[in-house]
Protein backbone atom coordinates (compact mmCIF):
# COMPACT_ATOMS: atom_id res chain seq x y z
CA UNK A 1 0.00 0.00 0.00
CA UNK A 2 1.40 3.36 -1.02
CA UNK A 3 2.10 5.75 1.84
CA UNK A 4 0.80 9.27 1.46
CA UNK A 5 2.09 12.47 2.88
CA UNK A 6 0.08 13.56 5.95
CA UNK A 7 -0.49 16.90 4.26
CA UNK A 8 -2.67 15.15 1.70
CA UNK A 9 -4.92 13.63 4.37
CA UNK A 10 -6.18 17.10 5.21
CA UNK A 11 -7.66 17.65 1.77
CA UNK A 12 -11.39 17.38 1.03
CA UNK A 13 -12.98 17.23 -2.38
CA UNK A 14 -15.03 20.41 -2.04
CA UNK A 15 -14.17 22.24 -5.23
CA UNK A 16 -14.51 20.77 -8.71
CA UNK A 17 -14.02 23.67 -11.08
CA UNK A 18 -11.33 26.13 -12.12
CA UNK A 19 -11.08 28.81 -14.73
CA UNK A 20 -10.61 27.37 -18.25
CA UNK A 21 -6.97 26.56 -18.97
CA UNK A 22 -4.97 28.82 -21.22
CA UNK A 23 -4.52 27.54 -24.77
CA UNK A 24 -0.74 27.63 -24.45
CA UNK A 25 -0.79 24.90 -21.82
CA UNK A 26 -2.73 21.95 -23.18
CA UNK A 27 -0.66 19.33 -21.41
CA UNK A 28 2.89 19.24 -20.21
CA UNK A 29 4.69 16.05 -21.23
CA UNK A 30 5.23 13.79 -18.28
CA UNK A 31 8.67 13.11 -16.92
CA UNK A 32 9.55 9.70 -15.63
CA UNK A 33 9.76 9.57 -11.86
CA UNK A 34 13.10 8.62 -10.36
CA UNK A 35 11.75 8.03 -6.85
CA UNK A 36 12.55 4.66 -5.39
CA UNK A 37 13.15 2.76 -2.15
CA UNK A 38 16.55 4.37 -1.67
CA UNK A 39 15.03 7.84 -1.95
CA UNK A 40 12.23 6.91 0.47
CA UNK A 41 14.73 5.58 3.02
CA UNK A 42 16.79 8.75 2.68
CA UNK A 43 13.74 10.93 3.27
CA UNK A 44 12.70 8.89 6.30
CA UNK A 45 16.18 9.11 7.80
CA UNK A 46 16.34 12.84 7.20
CA UNK A 47 12.95 13.45 8.78
CA UNK A 48 14.20 11.62 11.88
CA UNK A 49 17.40 13.67 11.92
CA UNK A 50 15.52 16.95 11.50
CA UNK A 51 12.99 15.96 14.14
CA UNK A 52 15.73 15.12 16.63
CA UNK A 53 17.50 18.34 15.77
CA UNK A 54 14.37 20.31 16.54
CA UNK A 55 13.51 18.33 19.67
CA UNK A 56 16.94 18.74 21.21
CA UNK A 57 17.75 22.12 19.63
CA UNK A 58 21.04 20.59 18.50
CA UNK A 59 22.66 22.74 15.80
CA UNK A 60 24.93 19.85 14.79
CA UNK A 61 21.95 17.68 13.90
CA UNK A 62 20.37 20.51 11.92
CA UNK A 63 23.70 21.04 10.19
CA UNK A 64 23.60 17.41 9.09
CA UNK A 65 20.15 18.00 7.64
CA UNK A 66 21.42 20.98 5.71
CA UNK A 67 24.12 18.84 4.13
CA UNK A 68 21.44 16.59 2.68
CA UNK A 69 19.10 19.47 1.83
CA UNK A 70 21.41 22.30 0.73
CA UNK A 71 20.31 25.78 -0.28
CA UNK A 72 22.43 26.80 -3.30
CA UNK A 73 21.72 29.93 -5.35
CA UNK A 74 20.18 31.35 -2.17
CA UNK A 75 20.72 35.04 -2.94
CA UNK A 76 19.16 34.71 -6.40
CA UNK A 77 16.24 32.63 -5.13
CA UNK A 78 15.43 35.00 -2.29
CA UNK A 79 15.70 38.10 -4.50
CA UNK A 80 13.36 36.67 -7.15
CA UNK A 81 10.99 35.16 -4.60
CA UNK A 82 10.64 38.50 -2.81
CA UNK A 83 9.88 40.25 -6.10
CA UNK A 84 7.28 37.61 -7.04
CA UNK A 85 5.79 37.26 -3.53
CA UNK A 86 6.37 33.51 -3.25
CA UNK A 87 8.04 31.53 -0.45
CA UNK A 88 11.73 31.04 -1.35
CA UNK A 89 11.74 27.74 0.53
CA UNK A 90 9.05 26.44 -1.82
CA UNK A 91 11.24 27.53 -4.73
CA UNK A 92 14.32 25.69 -3.46
CA UNK A 93 12.22 22.58 -2.75
CA UNK A 94 10.91 22.61 -6.33
CA UNK A 95 14.42 23.18 -7.67
CA UNK A 96 15.76 20.22 -5.70
CA UNK A 97 13.07 17.92 -7.06
CA UNK A 98 13.29 19.23 -10.63
CA UNK A 99 17.02 19.35 -11.33
CA UNK A 100 18.98 18.40 -8.23
CA UNK A 101 20.48 21.92 -8.52
CA UNK A 102 22.14 21.21 -11.87
CA UNK A 103 22.04 24.27 -14.19
CA UNK A 104 22.77 22.05 -17.22
CA UNK A 105 19.97 19.55 -16.52
CA UNK A 106 17.79 18.68 -19.50
CA UNK A 107 15.00 16.12 -19.34
CA UNK A 108 14.13 13.68 -22.10
CA UNK A 109 11.06 15.79 -22.94
CA UNK A 110 13.10 19.02 -23.22
CA UNK A 111 12.68 20.73 -19.82
CA UNK A 112 15.79 22.77 -19.10
CA UNK A 113 17.89 24.06 -16.25
CA UNK A 114 17.51 24.50 -12.52
CA UNK A 115 13.72 24.86 -12.56
CA UNK A 116 13.26 22.47 -15.52
CA UNK A 117 11.30 24.90 -17.68
CA UNK A 118 9.83 23.89 -21.00
CA UNK A 119 10.96 26.46 -23.61
CA UNK A 120 7.40 27.37 -24.64
CA UNK A 121 6.44 27.97 -21.01
CA UNK A 122 9.54 30.10 -20.39
CA UNK A 123 8.81 32.12 -23.54
CA UNK A 124 5.20 32.67 -22.39
CA UNK A 125 6.37 33.89 -19.00
CA UNK A 126 8.98 36.17 -20.59
CA UNK A 127 6.34 37.74 -22.86
CA UNK A 128 3.96 38.06 -19.92
CA UNK A 129 6.67 39.96 -18.00
CA UNK A 130 7.52 42.01 -21.11
CA UNK A 131 11.02 40.68 -20.66
CA UNK A 132 13.45 41.13 -23.58
CA UNK A 133 14.17 37.41 -23.30
CA UNK A 134 10.86 36.83 -25.05
CA UNK A 135 12.42 38.09 -28.29
CA UNK A 136 15.86 36.56 -27.78
CA UNK A 137 17.53 33.60 -29.48
CA UNK A 138 15.89 30.24 -28.83
CA UNK A 139 15.82 29.69 -25.09
CA UNK A 140 16.66 26.01 -25.54
CA UNK A 141 19.77 26.55 -27.68
CA UNK A 142 22.91 24.75 -26.38
CA UNK A 143 24.03 27.98 -24.75
CA UNK A 144 20.54 29.43 -24.49
CA UNK A 145 19.25 31.62 -21.70
CA UNK A 146 17.54 28.78 -19.85
CA UNK A 147 20.91 27.26 -18.98
CA UNK A 148 21.90 30.46 -17.18
CA UNK A 149 21.05 30.04 -13.46
CA UNK A 150 19.86 33.62 -12.92
CA UNK A 151 17.62 33.60 -15.98
CA UNK A 152 16.20 30.18 -15.19
CA UNK A 153 15.49 31.14 -11.59
CA UNK A 154 13.97 34.46 -12.71
CA UNK A 155 11.50 32.80 -15.09
CA UNK A 156 10.91 29.69 -12.97
CA UNK A 157 10.06 31.67 -9.85
CA UNK A 158 7.65 33.86 -11.83
CA UNK A 159 5.96 30.79 -13.26
CA UNK A 160 5.62 29.17 -9.83
CA UNK A 161 4.24 32.44 -8.41
CA UNK A 162 1.75 32.62 -11.30
CA UNK A 163 0.51 29.11 -10.51
CA UNK A 164 0.20 29.92 -6.81
CA UNK A 165 -1.91 32.98 -7.63
CA UNK A 166 -3.96 31.16 -10.27
CA UNK A 167 -4.86 28.42 -7.80
CA UNK A 168 -5.51 30.96 -5.02
CA UNK A 169 -2.57 29.94 -2.86
CA UNK A 170 -3.26 26.20 -3.10
CA UNK A 171 0.30 24.87 -3.06
CA UNK A 172 -0.80 21.30 -3.79
CA UNK A 173 -2.53 22.34 -7.01
CA UNK A 174 0.37 24.64 -7.93
CA UNK A 175 2.88 21.80 -7.59
CA UNK A 176 0.64 19.45 -9.58
CA UNK A 177 0.36 22.06 -12.34
CA UNK A 178 4.11 22.68 -12.37
CA UNK A 179 4.63 18.99 -13.11
CA UNK A 180 1.50 17.88 -14.95
CA UNK A 181 0.29 21.05 -16.65
CA UNK A 182 -2.16 23.76 -15.66
CA UNK A 183 -4.77 22.55 -18.12
CA UNK A 184 -4.71 19.03 -16.69
CA UNK A 185 -5.12 20.27 -13.11
CA UNK A 186 -8.15 22.26 -14.24
CA UNK A 187 -9.72 19.01 -15.47
CA UNK A 188 -8.73 16.80 -12.54
CA UNK A 189 -11.26 16.85 -9.69
CA UNK A 190 -8.71 15.55 -7.21
CA UNK A 191 -5.09 14.53 -6.91
CA UNK A 192 -6.23 10.92 -7.25
CA UNK A 193 -7.06 11.63 -10.91
CA UNK A 194 -3.59 12.98 -11.67
CA UNK A 195 -0.85 11.09 -13.47
CA UNK A 196 0.90 8.67 -11.07
CA UNK A 197 4.14 10.59 -11.67
CA UNK A 198 2.39 13.85 -10.77
CA UNK A 199 0.99 12.40 -7.55
CA UNK A 200 4.46 11.18 -6.60
CA UNK A 201 5.98 14.55 -7.53
CA UNK A 202 3.50 16.45 -5.34
CA UNK A 203 4.18 14.20 -2.36
CA UNK A 204 7.96 14.52 -2.78
CA UNK A 205 7.67 18.26 -3.25
CA UNK A 206 5.59 18.68 -0.09
CA UNK A 207 8.07 16.58 1.90
CA UNK A 208 11.02 18.60 0.62
CA UNK A 209 9.17 21.85 1.32
CA UNK A 210 8.46 20.75 4.90
CA UNK A 211 12.10 19.77 5.47
CA UNK A 212 13.36 23.08 4.07
CA UNK A 213 11.03 24.98 6.37
CA UNK A 214 12.30 22.92 9.32
CA UNK A 215 15.91 23.66 8.44
CA UNK A 216 15.85 27.20 7.08
CA UNK A 217 12.61 28.76 8.32
CA UNK A 218 12.53 31.66 10.79
CA UNK A 219 11.80 29.22 13.66
CA UNK A 220 13.19 25.78 12.73
CA UNK A 221 10.82 23.03 13.81
CA UNK A 222 7.72 21.14 12.69
CA UNK A 223 5.42 23.22 10.53
CA UNK A 224 1.76 22.98 9.53
CA UNK A 225 1.48 21.37 6.05
CA UNK A 226 -0.14 23.33 3.23
CA UNK A 227 -3.94 23.14 3.34
CA UNK A 228 -5.75 22.29 0.12
CA UNK A 229 -9.42 21.97 -0.77
CA UNK A 230 -8.51 19.58 -3.57
CA UNK A 231 -9.50 15.98 -3.03
CA UNK A 232 -6.81 13.45 -2.05
Q: 98, 164, 182, 203: which one is catalytic?
A: 98
pLDDT of the residue at 139: 66
Low-confidence ranges of the chain (pLDDT < 50): 1-35, 137, 220-222
| CB 186 within 8 Å of CB 19 | yes
| CB 35 within 8 Å of CB 200 | yes
| CB 156 within 8 Å of CB 213 | no
pLDDT of the residue at 55: 54
pLDDT of the residue at 212: 93
CA dist 160 → 139, 174, 211 (Å): 18, 7, 19
In this prediction the pTM is 0.73
pLDDT of the residue at 143: 72
In the chain, domain spans:
71-216
* Cα angle 126-143-71, degrees, rounded to a multiple of 5: 70
pLDDT of the residue at 63: 76
Class of CATH domain 71-216: mainly alpha
pLDDT of the residue at 219: 55
Tens digit of each residue's pLDDT (9 = 90 or more) over 130-187: 776 655 546 666 678 899 999 999 999 999 999 999 999 999 999 999 999 999 999 9
pLDDT of the residue at 230: 81
98 in active site: yes
pLDDT of the residue at 127: 86
Amino acid sequence: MQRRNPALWLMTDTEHGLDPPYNWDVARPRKKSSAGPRFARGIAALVVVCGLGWAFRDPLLRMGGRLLFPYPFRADIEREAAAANVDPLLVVAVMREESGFSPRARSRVGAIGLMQLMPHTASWIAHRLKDPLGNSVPLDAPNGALYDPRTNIHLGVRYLAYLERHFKGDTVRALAAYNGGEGNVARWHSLAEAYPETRSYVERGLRAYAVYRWLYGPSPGPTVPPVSNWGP
